[in-house]
Structure 1
Amino acid sequence: MHIKPSAAIRKNYNEISKLCKESGEPVYLTKNGEGDLVVMDITAFSRRESMLRLRETLVAVEEDRLAGKKGFSIDDVDEMMKKTIGEVADGRRE
């Protein structure tokens, strides 16, 4: 975990940017000794956002499963994927 005073972003932007990019971790900025902001590389942020969306989807699916909502078997999913891939492949040939 990287913690810097908020003044560091004004004085050492390039250093903090490099630290974020190289570590892939956020840098926590403090103001008057207390947490104030978090700065992170856009690639790491995008990856984190994608993971959060995936987790939200998985939680929703698990809640549906626990509530008794019908899901799909592996064979059902395999058939749907083959059908979709076939439709996309056919569309590219036209």
Structure 2
Amino acid sequence: MPRIIPIRDLKNTSEISKMCQEATEPIYITKNGYGDMVIMSVKMYEEKLFMLDVYNKLAGAEAQIAEGKVLDGDASLKSIREKYNV
């Protein structure tokens, strides 16, 4: 379940830092009862960026397949082996 805290709780920076390190998902910050910000640890941020990159690459690969931009695997391996004498 997502963690939601009011913006006034950001005054306790050491507690917020601890919460971010322990959290398995971003922490949502509200202001006047409405969503305002999202915070997370650097580690989680880097993991999310990595997964976003993976999903973008997969989407690009699926688009290439849909467009018919594919190569024959056996022919590709054969040309690589010939090129590098493997």
TM-score range, shorter chain: 0.7 to 0.9
Moved over 2 A (4+): 71-77
Superposition TM-score, scaled by structure 1 size: 0.73
| Identity across matched positions, percent | 35
Whether 2:7 is the aligned partner of 1:6: answer: yes
When residues 31 and 66 of structure 1 are mapped into structure 2, their CA distance, relative to the original with a 3 A threshold, is same
CA drift at 1:23: 1.9
Name the amino acid aligned to 1:2. R
Q: How many residues align?
A: 81
RMSD: 2.6
- Tell me the residue number matched to 1:34: 34
Give, in whole Å, the separation in 1 of the partners of 2:74 and 2:35.
47
Q: Secondary structure at the match of 2:70?
A: coil
- Tell me the residue number matched to 1:60: 60
5 Å-filtered alignment, 1:70-85, equals: 70-71=70-71, 73=73, 76=76
CA drift at 1:54: 0.8
5 Å-filtered alignment, 1:17-28, equals: 17-28=17-28
When residues 65 and 14 of structure 1 are mapped into structure 2, their CA distance, relative to the original with a 3 A threshold, is same
- Tell me the residue number matched to 1:50: 50
